[in-house]
Structure 1
Amino acid sequence: MAIGPAAAIVADVYSGARTAVEVVEAALDAARRLDPVLHFLEEFDPGGARAAAERVDPGGALAGVPFLIKGQTPVHAPIVTRLVAAGAVPIGRSTRARPGAVSQTFGWTGSDYTRNPWDLTRSSGGSTAGGAAAVAAGVVPLATGGDSGGSLRIPAAFCGVVGLKGTYGRVPRPGGRPLGGLTTIGLIGADLDDVILATSIASGPHRLDPAALPHWPVPVESERPWRVAYHSTLGACPANPAVDQVVRDRLSAADVTVVDVPLELLPTEEAWLVLSGLDAGRGAEAAASNRAREIRDHNNTALADLFAEVDALVTPTTLDVAHGYDQHEPNIVTGDPCWYFNVTGHPAVSVPVGLLDGLPVGAQIVAPHWADDAAVAVARRVQAGLPRPPVSVGARRASL
């Protein structure tokens, strides 16, 4: 039986229909059965999960919700401590990309690659690889991650789930604000509303990151009309025409108005590499730092002009569907539409919009700075429901 959305778990635990221990035991059983197939676990902690489930307050906002922590995330990270304080129960740590890899769009356990529940020959994306695979397979409804170049949105798109990168600083970082300012901590989930709730709970300043943005309340649904601009690509690399068509078809069916607004962004790789180096403590020469600032300022201005005409920008999240699980280096440009918004810091969310040859296609919705409410509101109208992937809890191939 599938674990279910976080909201359903919370309602059941509160009413007594299920206990937190029962929910967590089901997640642990699913992890035992599916990890040998999908390789999404870096660490597994059934004993700690059971003990935590026994202590859950049934009135917590995330009471009894099992989740995965992205590998290498410290236990004192605000996103972890705040989810746990709300009643969520970590069952282990998820895989990420192998350290030192040029491209991060894959996962690695130390001995095997993380696989995609839709097709075991494909990657689940990265670097939040294991979290996306486990969420898509129905093992857990939520997984934590960080997004410095698409690491929440790319795996969400590859696996047909939701990945939210809020405005830069939306969720506090355990190490405070870095110099480059690329990474936003966030979540992947099977349900957009679950991701919104968990992000709200994790948001707000913290003693470890007092410069984080103010607490983000769960937005109230709006019936207002939404205007969006659509661009199939933002750089020199085009989207797969079939991916482009899936997104266009979904926009045509969604309750949004698509407006043709031009957008000319400077290539972002140069700036991203400088800012990434600063985040890693490597420093940068003055000329390179100044150029990175010029690129960021130009793109911020171009996007401000676009957002003066529309509420949101929509792109394919990735230029193609999931590549082979071990073919990540030749596909480094796959997530090209994502990292522009790490450099600028805009909120961006990926939601599933359809299937192409049996593999998920994601759409990225970008909104103005601090307009996270708009990004998720448009995402709610654009998203499409997908069937359960072939390898998932309760599916026929789950025991492969």
Structure 2
Amino acid sequence: MVEEALDRVAHWDPVLHFIDTLDADGARARAARVDLRLPLAGVPFLIKARTPVRSPIITRLLAAGAIPLGTSTRARPGAVSQTFGWNGTDYTRNPWDLSRSPGGSSAGAAAAVAAGVVPIATGGDSAGSLRIPASFCGVVGFKGTAGRVPRPDGRSLAGLTIGGFIGGSLRDVVTATSVVSGPDRLDPGSLPAWPEPEFGAGPWKVAYRSALSPKPADSAVDAVVRASLATAGIVVQDSAFDWLPVDDAWQALRDLDAGQPVAPAAVSAAVDVRSRNSTALADLFGAVDVLVTPTTLSVAHGYDQHEENIIVGDLCWGFNVTGHPAVSVPVGLVDGLPVGAQVVAPHGRDDLALSVAAMLMKPLSLPGR
């Protein structure tokens, strides 16, 4: 499996530019001595660039027998919009259309999975960085409940960033998340170990929104997600939902996490937005099982047009502020480019989000692969 994956790296990386660093010799050496009794024995994967090597998501994958090939690209440090990838000399490209971005910041992860190079890749999600690239590339991106995957430095002050996976199948992503879940001495605030859940069959009560701010999803994207609900036989409930804009709140919390000065009034306002939106979601989930939205407002933008499209992930980042589980799955195409549906569930009910996502998901076949 590792040799096949390395062959695919050699074929695809010169075109897609998804590799940040490659360690072919190290991967072969690990594969030669892997214990075949381990749950992920021999499964090749990529690590998101700049992930600390002590991260539980990495050490637990290694302990389960998975084989890292190297690191995948992410956005350049300091970029305002992170929906792109950069390997040091060129932009990471979307395998569905080389003129388009794979999203970000887990750009290389999504491009490599969509191209069939690896079945899973690690990432982090503080504003949609797992879900946005999954949507752009027609694969799965899962951000569990805050604390689902332990972090190397414990939960951050603002708690925006959640570790997780991008994968070609929903079950692969769930299995990997289960393997790396559970308490860790580096993160005493992490949740208990998460047994891999079965996907329920419903019937489910679902709320749908094409917008969480004045900017709605493109009409064609909206239509594809609505059609996926109808095809799955899901009747959308008419449920009230009061949602406050999260732009300023997310920025204040992000600056807090980065150790930058934040005015006390801005922190107080951000905490208030988090509290009020969490309450609004609690009220919504008292009436329905999950909330479904398009993952992104549009399909993939140009590979170097991230700043002009900073709002594309508007439907994602509010759930980093509240910490709810959210998963993106492919549900169709617009103009030959993938469309993702996002499913959000109550805290701790990742299984609900995944169950509805399994009903909506339409596996996409990359032309020519």
Query: TM-score scaled to structure 2, two decimals?
Result: 0.99
**Residue 86 (structure 2) pairs with residue 138 (structure 1):** no
- Paired residue for 1:291, among 254, 269, 278? 269
CA deviation after TM superposition for structure 1 residue 349, in Å: 0.1
Alignment of 1:94-133 (within 5 A): 94-133=72-111
- The 8 Å contact of residues 255 and 382 in structure 1, kept in 2 or not, is answered as no
Q: How far apart, CA to CA, are the structure 1 residues paired with 2:201 and 2:335?
A: 34
Q: 1:156: which partner in 2? A: 134
Q: Which aligned pairs between 1:377-396 and structure 2 lie closer than 5 A? A: 377-390=355-368, 395=369
How far apart in 2 are the matches of 1:220 and 1:304? 24
Return the letter of the residue paired with 2:279: T
Partner of 1:358: 336
Q: Do 2:199 and 2:358's aligned partners in 1 also have CA atoms closer than 8 Å?
A: no
Deviation at 1:291, TM superposition (A): 0.3
Correspondence for 1:303: 281
The reply to whether residue 67 of structure 1 matches residue 60 of structure 2 is no
Contact 2:48 2:121 in 1 (8 A): yes
Aligned pair 1:248/2:226, yes or no?
A: yes
In the alignment, does 2:9 pair up with 1:31? yes
Q: Report the 3-state secondary structure (helix = DSSP H, G, I; strand = E; otherwise coil) of the residue aligned with 2:187.
A: coil
2:358 aligned with 1:376:
no
Question: Matched residue of 2:171: which SS?
Answer: helix
* Count of matched residue positions in the alignment of Structure 1 and Structure 2: 369
Runs of 4+ in 1 over 3 A off after TM superposition: none
1:225 pairs, out of 176, 182, 203, with 203
Q: Contact 1:228 / 1:313 at 8 angstroms: preserved in 2?
A: yes
Letter in 1 for 2:176: A
Deviation at 1:105, TM superposition (A): 0.3
Indicate the percent of aligned positions where both proteins have the same amino acid.
64
Using the TM superposition, name which of 349-358 and 255-264 deviates more: 255-264
- How far did 1:283 drift? 4.0
- The unaligned stretches of length 5 or more in structure 1 are 1-22, 396-400
Q: How does 1:321-332 map to 2 (within 5 A)?
A: 321-332=299-310
State the AA in 1 paired with 2:14. P
Q: Deviations over 1:177-215 (max 9, x none)?
A: 111110000000000000000000111111111211111
Alignment correspondent of 1:202: 180
CA distance in 2, matches of 1:368, 1:45: 40
User: How far does residue 104 in structure 1 lie from its aligned partner after superposition?
Assistant: 0.2
Contact 1:256 1:381 in 2 (8 A): no
What do you get for the CA RMSD once the two structures are aligned?
A: 0.9
Whole-Å separation in 2 of the counterparts to 1:63 and 1:255: 38
Does the residue aligned with 2:317 lie in a helix, a strand or coil? Answer: helix
Who is 1:50 aligned against?
28
Offset at residue 262 of structure 1 (A): 2.2
Contact 1:117–1:389 under 8 Å retained in 2: no
> How much does 1:112 deviate?
0.3
Cα-to-partner distance string for 1:265-288 (whole Å, 9 max, x where unaligned): 111011101111111112422111
1:137–1:389 Cα contact (<8 Å) kept: no
State whether residues 201 and 355 of structure 2, in contact with CA within 8 Å, keep that contact through their aligned partners in structure 1: no
Structure 1 residue 389, shift from structure 2 partner = 4.0
1:223 is displaced (CA, Å) by 2.9
Q: Which amino acid aligns with 1:104?
A: Q
Aligned partner of 2:317: which letter? W
- 1:272-314 CA distances to partner (integer Å, 9 max, x unpaired)? 0111111111242211111001101110111111101110000
Residue correspondence of structure 1 range 232-243 to structure 2 within 5 A: 232-243=210-221
Structure 2: runs of 5 or more not aligned? none
Write the letter of the residue equivalent to 2:39: A
